[in-house]
Chains A and B, each alone.
Chain A
Amino acid sequence: MQTDRRGFLKITFAGAAALSTMSAGATLSGCASSTPASGMKLLRAEDLELLRALTPAVMKGKIAPGDSAAIEQTLRSFDTLLVDLSEPVVAGVQQAFDVLNFAPTRGLTTGQWSAWPKASLSDAESALGRLRDSGIGLLNAIYAAVIRLIASSYYLVPENAVTTGYPGPPKKVAGAAPSVAPAGKVTP
């Protein structure tokens, strides 16, 4: 298989299927662990390495590469979000992560041949760009899922949500009457 960009783009859906088979091979051969990392409910140690590299690229302008407090907060939010999804969705996300974590498929799909902790911000941006611009639907799908989950994880944290010009929702106070009046037709 050619590994230059032009050759890579020629990989067809058959190639995409092979990639998922290879990453499944990673799971079966024990290259991918199935146990959550310490302190996490679902994210595995290698997922954390991947997400620590990709989060500052997805959230550029909000999270700097060295801002480990913001990165770790987003990862904890991501882990909670996964718990809140369903078992089939989590399985799909983990398969996507397997493609990006398993060294041969990571290199082929993202151009990131060294491990994720060695990736710079521009390496991570280039990796995301390769997934986004690929002619292979599976890789576009992985891109869509990864950026959506990271961005949602960030903005699901209320203190991040209000950095958008959104002042936040009204407050619920048990037993209180609403402090605003109804609009529109009020039928008894």
Chain B
Amino acid sequence: MRDLSTVTLGSNTDPYNKAAERGWDITDASQLNSPLELEADVVIVGTGAGGGTAAETLSKAGLRVVILEAGPLKTSSQFDMQERAAYRDLYQEGTGRGTKDGGMVILQGRSVGGSTTVNWTTSFRTPPETLKFWAEEMGVSGCSVEEMAPYFAHMEERLSIDAWPQPPNANNAMLQRASEKLGYSWDTIHRNVRGCLNLGYCGLGCPVDAKQSMLVTTIPGALDLEAKLIHRARVVRVLRDGDVVKGVEAEALTPDVRGTTGQKITVRAVRTVLAGGAINTPAILLRSDVPDPHRRVGKRTFLHPTTLTMGIYEESIDPFYGAPQSIYSDHFQWQNVSSGPVGFKLEVPPLQPAFAAGFYSVAGEELTNSMNQLDHTQCMIALMRDGFHEQSQGGAVEINDKGQPVLDYPINGYLLEGVRRAWNVMLEMQFATGAKSARPAHKQATHYRSWKEAKSAVAELEVAPHKATIGSAHVMGGCPMGDDPERSVADAAGKFHQLENLYIMDGSLFPTSVGANPQLSIYGLVYKLSSNLAAQFRA
């Protein structure tokens, strides 16, 4: 095995080491002793794929930009590849975020860079089938494959997105081998990396800044152009004067971002851009009590509900090391677009131990025997493409009595049948490539010894929420774009239908799930929307 624990890494790649030299204006709101009031051309809420892209585009247009981020500024000098610190510092609710009934765990980033700081670098353009569905069924104009192509091309260039040129790690190679064996299509994943060391710690914050996340690309780009960044500042509501939005009001968070300090931050701006992600953006709108005559805000929120199977092999897999995702299969993704059983994308996840133990979701000897063979474990995941079928209407973001967002997403029979179907596909793939044993993510399952045994056992399992282990790392929708205000929250320019000067620029605009890991879909769309917004200022 390639033992990476003997590798040493420095911290000299951290662009924030030179923040003072480069004249960057960064405020840690937790340290404020008095209220902060600012004025800007544009205030941007969030620093993830949407906020980061918008910040650089609008700063380049010469606009005065203020960027607010609820999470902390954590940079590669602090990324030590230990799971505990990463989950605590870089994820929403310390990875504890889940759906209302606890049926799905939601992994979402929360630090400067948003989810791009912790994602696994997988980059797909929005699939043509998805763009066509949005145009034909969801009333989205201006987002055809041809119209989007230049925006994707720009962001691919900006973020060094290209096909991964190295051999896949064994975890990914098994997905390729199984696809070849069973005649399924597969391909190499494109990744946003530059000088990648192939370590495998993308999910814990890239220790060498090879990942071209917003943290090291567009946010520094905007800061170089005199944008102001205020982190540990949680936006409570938008400021309004009648039908015109005038900026936002935020509260300063404590250093651990779990509480508030009592200080207020007010940013008055000509335009307000919400990019807090598909849970926090609808939550800001709901807390602001914006007009919502057709009750669309927060509805149709999608997750790519994801389930998994674990296979144990004779050979070493070392699923904790190496580029986490480099191979995928869409063989089962587009067999139907909006009819029939739910489509799913096949990928693999990285398995550092605490994450793997959570993924296993079993107890006792089954857990210990499995974990003792982690270095021989291969994991397949199926990401279900929700939001296309009439029986897949997604979830709804609500706010509780404290104003905190809650996502109510009951898992219905349609998705549960998809879970069972995906388990069968993935288990067969694992046995076809020589797995000694494999198990689906069901609390009452065990490691089965053959495909035949697994198949008959899966047929007998009660596939119910909580018994099946289902999670999500892709939150999308809730503020869908579209031309018809009765069916959408924002127009094709990202402008909120019901108020002036308020824009949404993040994954909450998607009218369905994307059907692919969403980061590049967000980059491309927001580059288009923010370029148009910049042009409005010039005009």
Chain A residues close to B by CB (< 8 Å): 57-62, 80-81, 84-89, 92, 125, 128, 132-133, 137, 140-141, 143-145, 147-148, 150-152, 154-156, 158, 160-161, 163-187
- A-B contacts, 23 of them at CB < 8 A, read A58-B363, A58-B367, A61-B365, A84-B87, A89-B93, A132-B467, A140-B465, A147-B361, A151-B367, A154-B357, A155-B354, A161-B354, A164-B373, A164-B375, A167-B4, A171-B9, A172-B8, A172-B9, A179-B8, A182-B210, A183-B198, A184-B198, A187-B195
B residues 1-53 near A (Cβ < 8 Å) are 1, 3-12
Nearest CB to that of B12 among chain A residues? Answer: A175
Contact with B3, one of A128, A144, A167 (Cβ below 8 angstroms):
A167
Contact with B7, one of A87, A179, A184 (Cβ below 8 angstroms):
A179
- Chain A nearest CB from B278 CB (Å) reads 18
Given known A164-B371, A165-B376, contact A170–B362 (CB-CB < 8 A) = no
Binary interface profile of B, 151-193, with partner A (CB < 8 Å = 1, else 0)? 0000000001010111000000000000000000000000001
**B443 contacts A140, CB within 8 Å?**
yes
**A163 contacts B363, CB within 8 Å?**
no
Determine the chain B residues whose CB is within 8 A of the CB of A186 once the complex forms.
194-195
**B210 contacts A61, CB within 8 Å?**
no
Determine the chain A residues whose CB is within 8 A of the CB of B83 once the complex forms.
155-156, 161
Judged by DSSP, the binding face of B is loop
B258 at interface, CB cutoff 8 A: yes
**A155 contacts B357, CB within 8 Å?**
yes
Binary interface profile of B, 73-93, with partner A (CB < 8 Å = 1, else 0)? 000010111111001100011
Given known A147-B362, A167-B3, contact A173–B8 (CB-CB < 8 A) = yes
Determine the chain A residues whose CB is within 8 A of the CB of B103 once the complex forms.
141
**A152 contacts B102, CB within 8 Å?**
no
Determine the chain A residues whose CB is within 8 A of the CB of B97 once the complex forms.
86, 89
- Chain B contact-residue range equals 35 or more
Assembly CA distance A152 to B91 (angstroms):
15
Assembly CA distance A184 to B368 (angstroms):
36
Assembly CA distance A168 to B466 (angstroms):
31
**B444 contacts A132, CB within 8 Å?**
yes
Determine the chain B residues whose CB is within 8 A of the CB of A152 once the complex forms.
354, 357-358
**B93 contacts A169, CB within 8 Å?**
no
**B466 contacts A164, CB within 8 Å?**
no
Determine the chain A residues whose CB is within 8 A of the CB of B94 once the complex forms.
81, 84-86, 89
**B368 contacts A60, CB within 8 Å?**
yes
Assembly CA distance A183 to B95 (angstroms):
30
B418 at interface, CB cutoff 8 A: no
Chain B residues close to A by CB (< 8 Å): 1, 3-12, 77, 79-84, 87-88, 92-98, 101-103, 160, 162, 164-166, 193-199, 201, 204, 207-208, 210, 258, 318, 320, 352-354, 356-358, 360-365, 367-369, 371-376, 400, 404, 406, 443-444, 464-467, 469
**A151 contacts B363, CB within 8 Å?**
yes
**B96 contacts A141, CB within 8 Å?**
no
**B360 contacts A151, CB within 8 Å?**
yes
Q: Which of A89, A167, A176 has its CB near the most chain B CB atoms (within 10 A)? A: A167
The 9 closest A-B pairs by CB, nearest first: A165-B375, A61-B368, A169-B81, A140-B466, A86-B93, A89-B96, A85-B96, A170-B7, A164-B374
Total A-B residue pairs with C-beta atoms closer than 8 Å?
A: 215
Assembly CA distance A141 to B469 (angstroms):
10
- Chain B nearest CB from A75 CB (Å) reads 15
- In addition to A161-B83, A164-B353, A187-B194, 9 A-B residue pairs with Cβ atoms within 8 Å of each other are A60-B364, A81-B84, A147-B363, A154-B357, A155-B356, A164-B373, A176-B9, A177-B12, A185-B160
Assembly CA distance A114 to B280 (angstroms):
44
Nearest CB to that of B207 among chain A residues? Answer: A172
Nearest CB to that of B374 among chain A residues? Answer: A164
Nearest CB to that of B317 among chain A residues? Answer: A165
**B93 contacts A178, CB within 8 Å?**
no
Assembly CA distance A150 to B360 (angstroms):
12
Assembly CA distance A92 to B404 (angstroms):
14
Nearest CB to that of B443 among chain A residues? Answer: A132
Nearest CB to that of A167 among chain B residues? Answer: B5
Contact with B364, one of A125, A156, A165, A176 (Cβ below 8 angstroms):
A125
Given known A59-B368, A125-B364, A128-B363, contact A167–B1 (CB-CB < 8 A) = yes
Assembly CA distance A175 to B8 (angstroms):
11
**B84 contacts A182, CB within 8 Å?**
no
Assembly CA distance A133 to B465 (angstroms):
12
- Chain A nearest CB from B525 CB (Å) reads 25
- Chain A nearest CB from B84 CB (Å) reads 5
Contact with A155, one of B197, B353, B362, B406 (Cβ below 8 angstroms):
B353
Contact with A182, one of B195, B353, B400, B464 (Cβ below 8 angstroms):
B195
Contact with B93, one of A62, A88, A177, A180 (Cβ below 8 angstroms):
A88
**B357 contacts A171, CB within 8 Å?**
no
Nearest CB to that of B466 among chain A residues? Answer: A140
Given known A141-B102, A172-B9, A178-B208, contact A166–B374 (CB-CB < 8 A) = yes
Determine the chain B residues whose CB is within 8 A of the CB of A145 once the complex forms.
102
Assembly CA distance A54 to B169 (angstroms):
37
Nearest CB to that of B319 among chain A residues? Answer: A166
- Chain A nearest CB from B108 CB (Å) reads 12
Determine the chain A residues whose CB is within 8 A of the CB of B92 once the complex forms.
86
Given known A84-B88, A148-B361, contact A172–B162 (CB-CB < 8 A) = no
Nearest CB to that of A121 among chain B residues? Answer: B364
Given known A85-B94, A92-B102, A161-B353, contact A169–B201 (CB-CB < 8 A) = yes
**A170 contacts B102, CB within 8 Å?**
no
Determine the chain A residues whose CB is within 8 A of the CB of B9 once the complex forms.
170-173, 176, 178-179
Assembly CA distance A141 to B98 (angstroms):
12
**B7 contacts A57, CB within 8 Å?**
no
Assembly CA distance A152 to B363 (angstroms):
11
**A178 contacts B197, CB within 8 Å?**
yes
**A166 contacts B443, CB within 8 Å?**
no
**B353 contacts A166, CB within 8 Å?**
yes
Contact with B400, one of A84, A85, A88, A171 (Cβ below 8 angstroms):
A88
Assembly CA distance A87 to B485 (angstroms):
36
**B160 contacts A144, CB within 8 Å?**
no
Nearest CB to that of A168 among chain B residues? Answer: B5
Nearest CB to that of B351 among chain A residues? Answer: A166
- Chain A nearest CB from B315 CB (Å) reads 13
**A58 contacts B162, CB within 8 Å?**
no
- Chain B nearest CB from A55 CB (Å) reads 10
Assembly CA distance A132 to B362 (angstroms):
10
